[in-house]
Amino acid sequence: QKEVEQDPGPLSVPEGAIVSLNCTYSNSAFQYFMWYRQYSRKGPELLMYTYSSGNKEDGRFTAQVDKSSKYISLFIRDSQPSDSATYLCAMSAGESAGTASKLTFGTGTRLQVTL
Amino acid sequence: SAVISQKPSRDICQRGTSLTIQCQVDSQVTMMFWYRQQPGQSLTLIATANQGSEATYESGFVIDKFPISRPNLTFSTLTVSNLSPEDSSIYLCSVVRYTEAFFGQGTRLTVV
C-alpha cells in the first residue's frame, strides 16, 4: 500500500463547478498537509498548507484535513479554466514547521475546467 | 519566496551516457532536494544535498547512479549516469523556506 493515495483522474468539470480533490494516507505521523498545483512543463507551486486537522480557506480554495480518517481534501469553488492543472497533495511528519522538508506526495490529479 | 533556476529544461540522451542537471537558487539555503517525477507516479525524493557533506540518498537510489554535487549554498548538480530508457522522467530540484517547498521548473529527460 502506498503511503499516500490520490486518484489520478483526469477530472473534467465545466467552468463554475465546485471541484473536490482528495487524498488518503496511512502514516499517522503526518501532521503537515499541503496541496501543490503544477501547470504543464512547470514545477509544483504551493497552493494551500494546513497543520493537523481542520479547515483552511483562501479565496476560492478550501483545504480540509481529517486526521482521524486520514483523509484530506481540496475544494475549488467557481472553478475557472485557469485552474486546469495537476493538483498534488503532499504530507510531512516534520519535527516543526520549519522542517517540513521531507515531503511524501500523491500521484497528482489532473483537472480540466472547460468553458 | 525562492527563485530556482534549473537547466536544462529538457534533453534527449543516448542510453549509456550521462546527463548533469544544474540548479541555482537566488539565495543561500542549507539543504537542496532532488526529486524524480515519473509519468503517473508521485514525486519521489532521490536525495538531500547539504553543502560541505555527502548527499543523503533515499532507499532505492545510490550515489553511483545519481551523483550529486553541492559546492556552495546556492548551487547543486544532479547527474543521472549510465542512462537507460527507465530513467526517462522529469527531475526537479527543490528548496524549503520556512514551511514552503519551492521547485525548479524541472528537467524532462528522454533516453533513447
| pLDDT (tens digit per residue) in B11-20 | 999 999 999 9
| Closest residue in chain B to residue A8, using alpha carbons only | B40
Peptide bond into A14 cis (omega under 30): no
pLDDT at position A97, please? 42
- The CATH code that applies to domain A4-96+106-114 is 2.60.40.10
The pLDDT of B96-103, averaged and rounded, is 80
CA distance A49 to B58: 25
Residues of A in contact with B45 (CB under 8 A): 102-103
Question: What are the residue boundaries of the structural domains of chain B, listed by start?
Answer: 27-103
The answer to whether the Cβ–Cβ distance between A49 and B45 falls below 8 Å is no
CB A65 within 8 A of CB A28: no
Of B31, B92, B96, the CB nearest to A43: B92
CATH class of the B27-103 domain in this structure: mainly beta
Residue B38 has pLDDT above 80, yes or no: yes
CB B90 within 8 A of CB B37: yes
**Strand pairing class (B89-97; B100-103):** antiparallel
Residue B90, chain A, CB below 8 Å: the answer is no
Tens-digit pLDDT profile for residues A66-109: 999 999 999 999 999 999 999 999 998 865 444 446 788 999 99
